[in-house]
């Protein structure tokens, strides 16, 4: 039977916090850029310009059909080479964090796009027609009338997807990026406390996700009222 030893965890907290910062950075960047790019994709998908609609549909289909871990590995292998050739960066520069942020942002945009598209389509078409009657352009109608209403209704779903994204960031383990989970396992390997560190990391993810989910549920009830 394994004899648990939790005594070393308090001393590892500063190191774990360094890894947690990387996890939070990836999550925040992917949420912001994912929503922005996802909004553009959603508008392309609803556009009457067929090439834009086809591009958005193909993009969403491709990224939603490929495992995230595979996308991470692709970008880990491709992005460094592209940046090094275009910007003339030294091969010794570690850009794993940048490649992870790019991969997560582009991947999550496909999921945010579908959420945002559904939110836009939920706004009654009559409001768009009323905006046109007032002399607004399509862009003005979307920016001033449709998107504010759509985003107000979509906030709980967008935040829920953000929680899923936060959990998925642990997959950067495969590219040896020292996020929270990777840092925890490295400490476990060093100190011979693999079981304890993995359990502790799982407990931290659990607490953060439960708290965030509770906040989202409260916000969802407030939006519904």
Contacts of 63 (CB under 8 A, 6+ apart): 71, 106, 107, 109, 110
Nearest to 225 by CA among 158, 145, 146, 156: 156
pLDDT grade, residue 146 (50/70/90)? confident
The predicted pLDDT at position 2 comes to 65
The percent of residues in the chain predicted with pLDDT above 90, rounded, is 42
Token pair listed for 41: 């994709």
Lowest-pLDDT range of 37-51, 67-81, 202-216: 67-81
Of 82 and 127, more confident = 127
pLDDT grade, residue 201 (50/70/90)? very high
Do residues 178 and 170 make contact, with C-beta atoms less than 8 angstroms apart?
no
State the average pLDDT over residues 30-48: 91
**φ and ψ of 210, to 5 deg:** -65, -45
Would the pLDDT of 81 be above 90? no
Candidates 3.40.920.10, 3.40.50.970, 1.10.3720.10, 3.90.1150.10; CATH matching 9-224: 1.10.3720.10
Would the pLDDT of 58 be above 90? yes
The predicted pLDDT at position 153 comes to 80
The angle that helices 180-191 and 194-224 make with each other, rounded to 10 degrees, is: 160
Do residues 176 and 22 make contact, with C-beta atoms less than 8 angstroms apart?
no
Would the pLDDT of 121 be above 70? yes
């Amino acid at each position: 039977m394994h004899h648990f030893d939790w005594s070393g965890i308090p001393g590892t907290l500063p190191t774990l916090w360094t890894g947690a910062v990387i996890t939070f950075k990836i999550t925040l960047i992917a949420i912001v850029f994912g929503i922005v790019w996802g909004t553009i994709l959603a508008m392309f998908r609803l556009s009457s310009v067929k090439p834009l609609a086809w591009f958005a549909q193909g993009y969403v289909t491709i990224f939603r059909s490929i495992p995230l871990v595979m996308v991470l590995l692709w970008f880990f292998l491709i992005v460094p080479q592209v940046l090094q050739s275009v910007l003339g960066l030294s091969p010794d520069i570690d850009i794993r964090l940048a490649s992870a942020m790019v991969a997560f942002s582009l991947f999550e945009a496909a999921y945010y796009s579908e959420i945002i598209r559904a939110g836009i389509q939920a706004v009654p078409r009559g409001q768009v027609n009323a905006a046109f009657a007032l002399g607004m352009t399509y862009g003005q109608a979307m920016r001033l009338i449709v998107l504010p209403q759509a985003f107000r209704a979509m906030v709980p779903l967008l935040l829920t997807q953000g929680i899923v994204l936060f959990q998925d960031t642990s997959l950067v383990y495969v590219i040896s990026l020292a996020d929270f989970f990777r840092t925890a396992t490295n400490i476990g390997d060093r100190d011979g406390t693999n079981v304890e560190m993995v359990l502790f990391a799982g407990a931290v993810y659990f607490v953060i996700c439960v708290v965030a989910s509770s906040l989202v549920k409260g916000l969802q009830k407030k939006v519904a009222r």
